[in-house]
Amino acid sequence: MNKAIFLVWMLLAPFPKIYAQTIPFEGMEFEISNVKASALELDGEQVLKVERDLDKLPFDVKRMEATVDEPTYVKLKNVNFDNGTIEVKVLSRIQDPSPFENARGFIGLAFRINEDDSAFESIYLRPVNGRSNIQKFRNHTVQYFAYPDYKFERLRKEFPEMYETAAPVGLNEWITMRIEVHGEKVELFVNDARYSNFIVPKMLGKTTTGSIGLWVDIGTEGYFKDLKVVAGE
């Protein structure tokens, strides 16, 4: 190939993807991180569907702690959130077939996500547990974790019952999640509750500011709408 022609071909040829894939929704732009995402209509409303991408981030049931509670979200672009309020409506279903027989409809929010997705805070729900006839399972409906060092298994071992709680939620129903972040403290309000359902008095993460993510995990078909972010002091 002629050198000049080769140089032109190099300039026009598609390069490996350098920038993250993005998706627009509700007038906002989201980066896609280890998930599959699409905007679609559900029951006459526009929603954002998010599912974990197992090709990009495999799951291993024998290595549970190493392969769950990961950066699996769509991340809001051009946002630097430290304190304030994040509210969103979420609905989850179990994938059919599911890659994990104990899937719980894992869905929630990540926040204070750093630029390279290597650290963030998160609160999520396990809606399957929300109305269980077994109280022990109900108590594992809401989960806090701090990536990468404090995932759910470590928290259960070192701080039993401290970073989880119950909430009356279920699959295939819209749930309003509102978190209020103030310094090291975060509170979760479920379905417009007057008082918080869950409180973490001292978060364990490495970040104090960063982006916001709509988060799902293994076996979950997650839907989101009506995201609102209000910066605080």
138 belongs to a structural domain: yes
67 belongs to a structural domain: yes
Q: Categorize the per-residue pLDDT at 19 as very low, low, confident or very high, splitting at 50, 70 and 90.
A: low
Burial of 218 by CB count in 10 Å (0-12 exposed, 13-18 middle, 19+ buried)? Answer: buried
177 belongs to a structural domain: yes
111 belongs to a structural domain: yes
Mean residue pLDDT of the chain comes to 92
pLDDT digits (tens, 9 = 90+) for 56-100: 999 999 998 899 999 999 999 999 999 999 999 999 999 999 999
Q: How far apart are CA 192 and CA 177, in angstroms?
A: 8
* Structural domain boundaries, residue 110: 17-231
pTM, entire model: 0.90
Q: Is the pLDDT of residue 18 over 50?
A: no
What's the structural domain count of the chain? 1
203 belongs to a structural domain: yes
CATH of the domain at 206: 2.60.120.560
8 belongs to a structural domain: no
Q: Determine if residue 130 is left, alpha or beta; phi over 0 gives left, psi from -120 to 50 gives alpha, anything else beta.
A: alpha
88 belongs to a structural domain: yes
10 belongs to a structural domain: no
pLDDT (0 to 100) of residue 20: 67
Q: What percent of the chain is modeled with pLDDT above 90? A: 89
pLDDT (0 to 100) of residue 192: 84
Q: Is the pLDDT of residue 233 over 90?
A: no
